[in-house]
Amino acid sequence: MALNSTADKGIQTLSIHAGEDPDPTTGASAPNLVMSSTFVVDEEISFSANNLDAETPFVYTRWDNPTTQQLEHKLAVLEQAEACIAFASGMAASSAVMLAHLSQGDHLVISNTTYPGTAEFARETLTRLGVEVSPVDTTDLQAIADATRDNTRMLWLETPSNPLLRIADIRGAANIVRERNCLLVVDSTFATPIATRPLALGADLVVHSLTKYIGGHGDAMGGAVCGRQALLGPLRGEALVHYGGVISPFNAWLIMRGMATLPLRMRCHQQNALDLANFLQSHDKIERVFYPGLESHPQHDLACTQMDNFSGMLSFRCRDPKAVAQRMMQRLEVIHYAVSLGHHRSLVYLMQTEDLVASSYRLEGDELDKYRDSAGEGLFRLSVGLEDSADLIRDLQRVLP
């Protein structure tokens, strides 16, 4: 028994069945967890990562593992990608893409507000290795076009972006870099494949932190890259085998289990986030609310065309954020004051502007003014979970001014 075709199946069916054929020897319906780090072989296999191909049997789990392969298969189907590689974390996936596809003298254009780890990796590590890096506001297609040069080899978008929930126009960006020998990479962690399929909009590679919505339960770290086999081959040999950022099969198994409910969870995340966004927007002490599903979001129209689900991430701004953060740490009952996002549990965290713009984003001039104008002294990033939204609202009422 196995899916003969994925093309005629809906996303709920695929989230459950893709990559999870019953075990051919035991008939086990649920996926096996294969923890073995090595595999008994009956032929000589080269030790070189350069000789890996689709015909290579399982040899060593840093190269490939049966449980991880099932997860990769499921992710590729959901992203409508030819192939997928899983990594130990979202950052292992992101750094692998940049290191494997950028070299000294190449130029990278990247969203100027991204996940802080990505921002620091690009600005510090890549520039140290001789890659030129131009952070730009990627909500502005003209700014992307202006920043693009002859040696631009990669355009990196994060949409929706951390923590302002800015939306980048993937199709518009793809039109700019097409025929330029430049890869378009999209970090789609906040959107998930339920909301957006970047490859169908013209992206070359999609990156996910599986630690967030895709795993969904806050108990396993992982990352993934999806795209054409020709772009992923070098990643498996170079990044997995040599940098070694391989996912634990146990984490792959947990994340695959979480994925079965991804479409259902995303529907509930979106509904709860809309409830909370509306509550916050009508609260007289809240200065700004950023949520792509609100008509007040500056790019709500673009979000409607590019996202089938507005996800569960919102951010908001109020006066005296540090005092509010203190109250959150002491008085919240349901929402955890903690970093990360995309879990069934609601999480909130203050993203302080001074810290972010100085250490991670290094914003200056107009871009700094623009960020301060939106974020003020700091934004509370709220990852709205799957609890009853009435309980979440009561929890916020306990701590808001």
Ligand X SMILES: *Cc1c(COP(=O)(O)O)cnc(C)c1O
- Which residues would be at the binding site for ligand X (CB under 6 A)? 89-91, 94, 115, 117-118, 158, 162, 187, 189-190, 209, 211-212, 221, 223, 341
Q: Which is nearer to ligand X, 91 or 177 (CB)?
A: 91
At its nearest, how many Å lie between ligand X and the CB of residue 121? 10
Distance in Å, CB of 24 to ligand X, minimum: 32
User: Using CB atoms, what's the residue nearest to ligand X?
Assistant: 90
Q: Which is nearer to ligand X, 90 or 263 (CB)?
A: 90
The answer to whether 332 touches 348, Cβ cutoff 8 Å, is yes
Interstrand relation of 378-383 and 205-209 (parallel, antiparallel or unpaired): unpaired
Residue 126 beta carbon to ligand X: minimum distance, rounded to whole angstroms: 16
* Distance of closest approach, residue 31 Cβ to ligand X, in angstroms: 22
Strands 205-209, 223-227: pairing kind = antiparallel
Q: Rounded distance, CA 301 to CA 386, Å?
A: 26
Distance CA 245, CA 92 (A): 6
Tell whether the torsion through CA atoms of 338, 340, 342 and 348 is positive or negative.
positive
| Closest CB 342 distance from ligand X, rounded Å | 8
Q: Which is nearer to ligand X, 114 or 148 (CB)?
A: 114
Beta bridge partners of 337: 348
The DSSP 8-state label assigned to residue 335 in this structure reads S
Pick between residue 199 and residue 206 the one whose CB is nearest to ligand X.
206
d(CA 384, CA 390): 12
Looking at beta carbons only, is 109 or 214 nearer to ligand X?
214
Nearest distance from residue 48's CB to ligand X, in Å? 28
Q: Give the amino acid at 110.
A: I
CB of 65 or CB of 94, closer to ligand X: 94
